[in-house]
Amino acid sequence: MRRITRLSSCSALALGLAAGPAFAELTAHQVWTGIESAMQGFGYSVTATETPNADGLDVTDVVMRFEAPEDDAVVEFAIESIDLVENSDGSVSMTFPVSMPITIDAAPEDQEDVMMVLDYDNEGLEIVVSGEPGDMTYTYTADRLSISLEEMEIDGEAIGREEARFDFSIEDVSGATVARTTEGTNLTQDVTALSASYDFAFNDPDSDDAALVTGSMADLFVSSATVLPEGFDPNDPQALANGGFSASGSMGYTNGEMQFAATESAGTTSGTTQTDTVQLEFDIDDAALRYDVAATGQAVTLSGPELPLPVDVRLAESAFRITMPIAKADQPQDMAFGLTLRGFEMSDLLWNVFDPGAALPRDPATIAFDLTGQVTPFINLFDPAQMARVEATNQPPGELNALTLNNLTIEAAGAKLGGSGAFTFDNDDMQTFDGFPRPTGEVNVTIDGANALIDKLIAMGLLTNEDAMGARMMISMFAVPGDGPDSLKSSLTINDQGHVLANGMRIQ
């Protein structure tokens, strides 16, 4: 979480030194004070020389410094000068140098010392600040923003660009950031960009190791809202447990593509990825965390000396979501977990490895489940002292109260498994199920095409008749005929006495 906070502050700088909503007459000094306050709220120290002039304010020799003692690392953002010009409409325009260096010095324990200098460049960057002190809006546009690795040292040894390089750029950027700084800091931002591209490579002169990664994406957007309470310390995990902090947002892009190659002594492994759309949403405060990411139109190709044949797979849709409480609570709190892998396809070359006769249907496969429930957390996950006590005493961090399987779908090779159900859990009864809270509830399962799939596996030689007979006997113990010709269904119930029943027949 601390890394997320630091990255948030860096992106605010890189997209226009974000800080600030709008609507009155501002002075250049008030704008600069707002920037200092915002960066200090993210844990940066700020030094600069301020020189008033007829148009506003010149700020020179600016150094914004962030220290991470636990990683023995320092980040410095140096800006030669910032010109702040007071406009007739009450707004303030800001002009930055075309190039600004970012220095990162890290000396983590038992690891190599690393020094990097990144050049943050801009073309056509325009920033206009409006509003009033404590409530400012930063509106910005740029033809191009980019970050490139210009210098690098490892344990004092210089690494040239022929050995390591990194370039990232975004085109046609526009956005606005609003900062309210009364009773803490409240930041909101909306940013869009027409496209982005990146290029990363390294080449080890002392071995055959090398790597190359290039890619691009289009229609980027970022929307976020962050609340930092008074006295918030981004270096202190306990600050997240003290209350008042929150962050939410969404981001995404379209038409993502990447090409990569990695060379070792055995040869070169290379591949490509493609994605039609990607969207991520997040929401975190002192009580709960929510994370939801989804993508469509994914494709991956991969080939290399350690692969018996080239990989070529596609996925129509993928999604992952999680909701979890992070604060100690006396009452059950909502949780959720979901995964979707829909429309998975692979090339005939891969299919033919285990099904050369095309006996199995090669329809797109799907695995998806959606689980919700309630848990009661006994500790705050961001409190280091509480987490340490849990690890030392081996006590559970919470208790499970309820689970609902909203949907389970597995489709592959012509067969389909579906399921849904719900259970509650009695944490006062840990004996009936040997240390696990006693569940009460029911889950219903349907299976279509199972017998046809078993017959095909026998014909392919992947399953013996004896194994097939055992599988069918096992299925018959728990399932009854369903609604179709090759359909089965089963209802698994655990009653309030702790009895387990399959289709009404007690099995435990």
Instruction: Let me know: does 336 contact 394? Beta carbons within 8 Å.
Output: no
Domain boundaries, the chain: 1-181+196-202
Is the separation of the CB atoms in 131 and 21 below 8 Å?
Answer: yes
Instruction: Tell me, yes or no, if the pTM score tops 0.75.
Output: yes
Tokens of 116: 């990097």
- CA torsion, ordered 495, 497, 500, 502, to nearest 10 deg: -50
Per-residue pLDDT of the chain (508 residues; tens, 9 = 90+): 343 344 344 443 443 343 333 345 899 999 999 888 878 877 899 999 999 999 999 999 999 999 888 778 999 999 999 999 999 999 999 999 999 999 999 988 888 899 999 999 999 999 999 999 889 999 999 999 999 999 999 888 898 888 999 999 999 999 999 988 877 788 999 999 999 999 999 998 778 789 999 999 999 999 999 998 887 776 676 676 677 889 999 999 999 999 999 998 888 999 999 999 999 999 999 889 999 999 999 999 999 998 889 999 999 999 999 999 988 999 999 999 999 999 999 999 999 988 888 889 999 999 999 999 999 999 888 787 888 888 888 888 899 999 999 999 999 999 999 999 999 999 999 999 988 999 999 999 999 999 899 988 888 888 898 888 988 888 888 889 888 888 999 999 999 999 999 988 888 7
SS3 483: coil
Closest CA to 399 of 363, 433, 430: 430
- Residue 35: name the closest of 133, 175, 161, 173 by CA: 133
HEC string of 297-366?
Answer: EEEEEEECCCCCCCEEEEEEEEEEEEEEECCCCCCCEEEEEEEEEEEEEECHHHHHHHCCCCCCCCCCEE
